[in-house]
A and B are shown apart, each in its own frame.
Chain A
Amino acid sequence: MSDLTAPFITTDVLHAWTLLPTVAETQPLIDALSGRGWAVSRGFSTLAEVMDALERTDTPPDLLITRVRLPDGDAFELIRRLATIRNAPGIFFVSRQQRSVVKAAESLCEAHGVRVAGHADMPLRLTAALPQFDAFRATGCQRRQRIVICPPLPAADLQYLVDNGGIRAYMQPKMRLSTHRITGFEALMRGVGVEGHVISPAQLIEPLGDAGLLRSATLQMFDQIVNFLMDCLNDGIGVGASVNVPLSLISDYSFCQKLVERVEVVGLDPSWITIEITEDEAMSNPALAIENTARIRMFGFNLSVDDFGTAYSSFTQLTKIPFSELKIERYFIKGIETDKFKQAVVSSCAMLGSRLGLEVVAEGVETRGELTAVIEAGCSDVQGFLISRPVPVPEAAAWLRSLDGERFALADEAALQSWDPSL
């Protein structure tokens, strides 16, 4: 197996660089930060200088505090260029720009995978700015430290995983909002190497597809959720489970036959299982999607449209595919409590789904604020770290049995920070 352990170095003091042409206005912020566990170690005045320094350094900062307009460019160019650098810092915006411009910059960061610490309008108000730095310290940087930079897995390693039980279903629970009861789990694919290290989906799913191993890996996932469900149901616990299946596999009749065989052999009613396909896949080839999703339903499985909201399907297209559940893409959930645009999108999706008789699941719910907002928007179910991170099957089974009547009680918020988004 390849070496997969190369974590970032953890340090207590976080480093920030600044890209602030007029220092006097922002000096109070820099002074205040040094008393809050930050070291503002370098200051730059142009985009060219900071990019040059970032490309040369072995110890990049955790954060870059920058204006939106720069003497030799702007934050948009900066973000695009940061996205090409390994270990790129997060960004904090200090701006005189209208809110929509800063918001666009934040969206661009999201699109490029650059972390956003927050923003502050000029003139600076420390009471508004400093909590954002604290929050970034508490969550953003922890996440970064845990990221393991891994080389792509060679095909031989992937084959080894598939042949030796290294493909594992990690189960993330889904909670019904009206009763706080756990009604199901989404099985997420992970690889577990010989030393017990976990291989993230980013390293796994696309390479498995490229190596022609996704079919075999998906069937292994399916077997694991069938066993999980049988254990639960035999114990009198009525929960379902879902698994992501690419449309290309659903389109293969013999693959669907295999799914049917696997539930029939153990006597499991297929309605306990939901097959998830992404909205993007469903809409990119509607004819193929309709034929094959209808077949999935004919066999008795339920069907979910995943990542809903990202592919701009028309309402007409959505009604042509026999979905039983709609899962709203996590992008629309993140920070929804303060974002009117996201609130509008999610409540529209929820209304559409409920009118079509679908369950509407908000994915990626991480905070109580987000939870409250998705309840207000009318979602029926939630999934996300607020309830639980994805955990191995035995852990999920034990967790479920530890609940009082499968009913989830919201945990201490502090405990929610100890999760690893790379897994």
Chain B
Amino acid sequence: MDSSTGKDQPLALIVDDNAVNRNVTGQMLRRLGWTSVQVESGLLALEQLKNRSFDLLLLDLRMQEMDGEETCRRIRSDLGLTDLTIVAYTAHGMEDDRERILAAGFDRMLIKPIFLDDLRTLCAEVRPTVG
């Protein structure tokens, strides 16, 4: 699942239980000069975060096992990763829930489907010198 190649490239963790989405997001990030690690659950994300540091975490809110909000809370509290940029991505129409979602510890929300332009804007803000 690790598609990293270069040492200096920023690294993103993609957490989504949909394999097609993980793959396309990973490929789009690669086009932007990023590398990514892709996992399919919140628990696997926590494992990854214990072992290495990431520049960005993309987290699907709607996952079967442990949902995105719970995963985010545990990253912030249990792992104490308060500086990591964590982005929720979610279905259209969840804007009304924005406050509650952000309160779980997310830095921002993206609406699915995620396009290259969304990622480009996001990545430019997280690591302005890349891409």
Q: Which residue of A lies closest to B112 (CB)?
A: A271
Binds B, one of A40-48, A56-64, A178-186, A329-337: A178-186
**Cβ–Cβ contact A272 & B117, under 8 A:** no
Please, how many angstroms separate the alpha-carbon atoms of A267 and B23 in the complex?
A: 12
The answer to the question of B18 belonging to the interface, with a C-beta cut-off of 8 Å to chain A, is yes
Which residues of B lie under 8 Å from residue A357 when comparing CB positions?
95
Residues of A within 8 A of B27 (CB): 235-236
With CB as the reference atom, state the residue of chain B lying closest to A233.
B24
Tell me the smallest distance from the CB of B35 to a CB of chain A, in Å. Answer: 14
Judge whether A302 is part of the interface by a CB distance below 8 angstroms: yes
Q: Are B92 and A233 in contact (CB under 8 A)?
A: no
- Enumerate A154-188 residues with CB–CB distance to B below 8 Å: 176, 178-179, 181, 183
In the assembled complex, how far is the CB of residue B3 from the closest CB belonging to chain A, in whole angstroms? 11
B63 nearest CB across to chain A (Å): 12
Which one of B21, B112, B114, B117 contacts A178 once the chains associate, using CB atoms below 8 Å?
B117
A residues less than 8 Å from B21 (CB atoms): 233, 269
- Residue pairs across A and B with CB atoms within 8 Å: the count is 62
B42 → chain A closest CB, angstroms: 17
**Complex contact A181–B117 (CB within 8 A):** yes
Chain B residue at minimum C-beta to C-beta distance from A270: B91
* Chain B residues positioned under 8 Å from A237 (CB to CB): 24
- Given the interface pairs A176-B117, A271-B112, A405-B116, the reply to whether A236 lies near B92 with Cβ below 8 Å is no
Residues of chain B within 8 A of A178, CB atoms compared: 117
Task: Tell me, yes or no, whether A406 is within 8 Å of chain B by CB.
Answer: yes
Q: In the bound complex, do residue A272 and residue B113 qualify as a contact, i.e. CB atoms below 8 Å apart?
A: yes
A269 and B20 contact, CB distance less than 8 A: yes
CB-contact partner of A267 in B18, B91, B115, under 8 A: B18
Which of B30, B31, B112 is the one whose CB lies under 8 Å from A269? Answer: B112
The dominant DSSP class at the A interface is loop
B112 touches A233 (CB 8 A): no
B122 at the interface (CB under 8 A from A): no
- B66 part of interface (Cβ distance < 8 Å): no
Given A233-B20, A269-B21, are A238 and B112 also a contact pair (CB < 8 Å)?
no
What interface size band does chain A fall in? 20 to 34
Residues of A within 8 A of B30 (CB): 236
Assess whether B112 is in contact with A236, with CB atoms less than 8 Å apart. no
Judge whether A230 and B116 touch: CB under 8 Å.
no
Q: Does A324 contact B (CB under 8 A)?
A: yes
Asked if A181 and B112 make an inter-chain contact with CB atoms under 8 angstroms apart, the answer reads no
A235 CA to B23 CA, complexed, in Å: 9
Q: Given the known A-B contacts A181-B116, A405-B31, are A302 and B24 also in contact in the complex, defined by CB atoms under 8 Å?
A: no
Provided the pairs A267-B18, A269-B21 are in contact, do residues A238 and B31 lie with their beta carbons within 8 angstroms? no
In B83-109, the 8 Å CB interface with A consists of 91-93, 95
**Across the interface, do B19 and A267 meet the contact criterion of CB distance under 8 Å?**
yes
Q: Interface digits, B62-96 against A, CB 8 Å rule (1 contact, 0 not)?
A: 00000000000000000000000000000111010
A302 contacts across to B, CB distance below 8 A: 92
The winner among A176, A233, A266 for most chain B CB atoms within 10 A is A233
A118 at the interface (CB under 8 A from B): no
Tell which of A176, A235, A236 has the most Cβ of chain B within 10 Å: A236
Binding site for A on B (CB under 8 A): 18-21, 23-28, 30-31, 91-93, 95, 112-117
List 5 extra interface pairs beyond A239-B115, A271-B112, CB under 8 A.
A234-B24, A236-B28, A267-B18, A269-B18, A271-B113
